[in-house]
Amino acid sequence: MTAPTTSLAPPLTRRRRGRWRRHTVPWIFAGPAAALIALFFAYPLAASLVQSVQLKGGGVGLDHYFRMTGDPSFLQSLVNVGLILLVQVPVMIGLATVLAYVLNQSWLRFRATLRVAYFLPAVTTLVAYAVVFRVLLRTEGGAVNQILGVQVDWLNDPFWARVALIASLTWRWAGYNAIILLAGLQAIGREQYEAAAIDGAGPMTTFRRVILPQLKPVLVFCSITSTIGTLQLFDEPLVLTGGGPGDATLTPILYLYQVGFKQHDFGYAAAIAWVVVALIGALSWLQFRYFGRERA
């Protein structure tokens, strides 16, 4: 009688099936999401990059990018968005920090109600609140001029149009950033406040020496997201001022819309979009590089 032979096929088959499951099953679940991302994100992204270097004559080149250097409207849009970055973002974050500090105080009554009230502008429809501000800031019959008792041409004077845009943006986003900063404040341990009080530090010293250093990562996050949002401004200047008067409130994204969908110059519009992407990446990196890490 011969001894029975042991077959290696079943163990090998089980190992192959195990490898197949480990490598294939995840893609079965991730495949639909990956296909949607490729269809609605990756492909349009690549197509816009290709379109930005395609010329009307059928060639390929960087003419669209060089054209921006001599385009007064595009250069003015960069100046406008730079002014908003330099003025509105610091003012908004400073106001949000003060609001968060006050909302974090135990002596404040109706704290939950106030937090909701300050956050509500962030969930208001962009077009709706811009229309409301447009009505409030009308030169004749506007509620703001009636309260002030003067006739300020908010929407037709270049200086006051910028002020109106900055004020509307601050109203909408200050409360949003305040809630984020409030979460950062609540993450600071009570023992740090107690240690500062034992050392004799007053409220201002505690704020400068204890709160701000602990809040620095959250402030950097708010600064970066606000910078990205400012460079992407579209709804507010479109509804509130239409980019005017002249080009006083024109932003790069609003100009991109005008070039692409009114002038039908999609190659140039795609080039503007990629320049905005580059600016967002560069400014975000600079902020993280110089403010997001502790210096040695």
Q: Which of 123, 126, 127, 152 is nearest to 139 (CA)?
A: 152
- Identify the residue with better confidence: 6 or 110: 110
Q: How far is CA 178 from CA 28, 96, 99, 119, 203, in A?
A: 42, 4, 6, 8, 19
The SS3 call for residue 69 is coil
**pTM of this prediction exceeds 0.85:** no
Q: Which of 27-31, 217-221, 254-258 is the least confident region?
A: 27-31
pLDDT at 200 over 80: no
- Identify the residue with better confidence: 37 or 88: 88
Which H or E element spans position 9? helix 9-37
Which H or E element spans position 49? helix 43-52
Give every CB contact of residue 62 below 8 A, 6+ residues apart in sequence: 53
Mean pLDDT of 216-243: 90
What φ, ψ does residue 202 adopt, rounded to 5°?
A: -80, 180
pLDDT at 189 over 50: yes
pLDDT of residue 18: 67
Distance CA 239, CA 243 (A): 9
pLDDT of residue 12: 56
Q: Which of 93, 111, 89, 112 is nearest to 175 (CA)?
A: 93
Where b means 16+ CB within 10 Å and e means fewer, 151-178 reads: eeebbeeeebbbebbbbbbbebbbbbbb
What interhelical angle do 212-231 and 266-291 show, nearest 10? 170
Distance CA 207, CA 196 (A): 10
The CATH number of the domain covering residues in 90-291 = 1.10.3720.10
**Distance in angstroms between the alpha carbons of the first and the last residue of the chain:** 81
Please state, as a whole number, how many other Cβ atoms lie within 10 Å of the Cβ of residue 109: 6
Distance CA 190, CA 182 (A): 14
Q: What share of the chain is helix, strand, coil (3-state, %, to 5)?
A: 75, 0, 25
User: Tens digits of per-residue pLDDT, 123-167?
Assistant: 888 888 888 898 899 888 889 889 888 888 998 999 999 999 999
pLDDT of residue 2: 52
On average, the pLDDT of the chain sits at: 85
What interhelical angle do 266-291 and 43-52 show, nearest 10? 110
Structure token digits, residue 243: 């980019």
pLDDT at 14 over 60: yes
The domain segmentation of the chain, as residue ranges, is 90-291
